[in-house]
Amino acid sequence: MSHRLDVTIESADGTRRDTQFVTERMYNLGSATRDPDTAVAHQQEVAKSGIHIAFDVPAPRIYPIALHALTSDEALFVQTDKTSGEVEIVLHMAEQLYVGVGSDHTDRALETVSIPGSKQACANHVAPVFWPYDEMRDSWDSCVMRSWVDGRLYQDVGVNVFIRPEDIIALVRKRVSSVPERDFTVFCGTFVSVDKALGYGAEWRYEMDAPETGRRIGATYQVIDILSEVKPEFRVPFFNPQRGKVA
């Protein structure tokens, strides 16, 4: 089984090539920072909403993700009003390593019960333009990622906070037994929001800026809560009120 995504490869000389990325496996990482202490602020941020990190598992933590969750569509469908995006480095290993940017959109209500489950409940949104990493290697640490929710700046972080792409690939190969030789995608973890609180909203926009090369990639998507379309008296509760578990 594999997933195909239409993308554009943008090279440093300005040439662009349309192609398809084939993904056979996808992984999301958590707490993938070079200095473990820099991940604490995001851990505290989610803890305010009752989300608890599995600290007994060595960081960065790895969440295998079903392939249908990978998308660059303009609309993203959810089933609660408590979901939020996370701007992240996206790596795709093909005939060479490519770098891009995406949003690990996450169901925060479900995350209080199961972090892996919450990662499956929403899509991994990705901007459909990628750069060859070999062309970015020397200037990589100058890149910056940002995200906005409903027009408000939500995250602003340099990629130098996170483990370098080549080291991420080596780490995933070491910790996961079934990583294919090529054709896999990795979302590389996120960072605390600018106001250190989870944000919610309908429109999410994110980007990666490469100031040394004058290039920028990114995307925008709309979140649609499809459960809200059902009249209130006919909605199945998201949580079982008797047992406090997901219905």
pLDDT tens string 78-121: 999 999 999 999 999 999 999 999 999 999 888 888 888 888 89
pLDDT of residue 54: 64
pLDDT of residue 48: 64
Helices (H), 36-176: 40-47, 108-111, 115-121, 133-136, 165-175
For 80, list phi and psi in degrees, rounded to 5.
-145, 165
For residue 100, what is the enclosing H or E element? strand 97-104
Give 109-114 contacts, CB < 8 A, sequence gap 24+.
Answer: 109/80, 109/82, 109/83, 109/238, 109/239, 110/80, 110/238, 110/246, 111/46, 111/49, 111/51, 112/49, 112/50, 112/51, 113/245, 113/246, 114/246
pLDDT of residue 247: 42
- How many Å apart are CA 104 and CA 189, to the nearest integer? 8
| Whether 184 contacts 169, CB under 8 Å | no
Give me the mean pLDDT over the 27-31 stretch.
Answer: 93
For 109, list phi and psi in degrees, rounded to 5.
-65, -45
Averaged confidence pLDDT in the chain: 91
pLDDT of residue 116: 86
- Specify the residue for token string 């309908």: 202
What per-residue string of b and e applies to 140-164 under the rule 16 or more CB within 10 Å gives b? beebebbbbbeeeebbebebebbbb
Give me the mean pLDDT over the 9-20 stretch.
Answer: 96
| Whether 228 contacts 83, CB under 8 Å | no
- How many Å apart are CA 70 and CA 219, to the nearest integer? 14
- How many Å apart are CA 186 and CA 43, to the nearest integer? 20
Closest CA to 166 of 186, 193, 147: 186
Confidence grade of residue 174 (pLDDT, cut at 50, 70, 90): very high
Percent of all residues in the chain with a pLDDT value above 70, rounded to a whole number: 89
* Highest-confidence segment of 180-189, 190-199, 229-238: 180-189
Percent of all residues in the chain with a pLDDT value above 90, rounded to a whole number: 74
Between residues 51 and 12, the one the model is more confident about:
12
Residue 50 identity (one-letter amino acid): G
In this structure, the strands spanning 152-158 and 144-149 are: antiparallel
pLDDT of residue 165: 98
pTM, to two decimals: 0.92
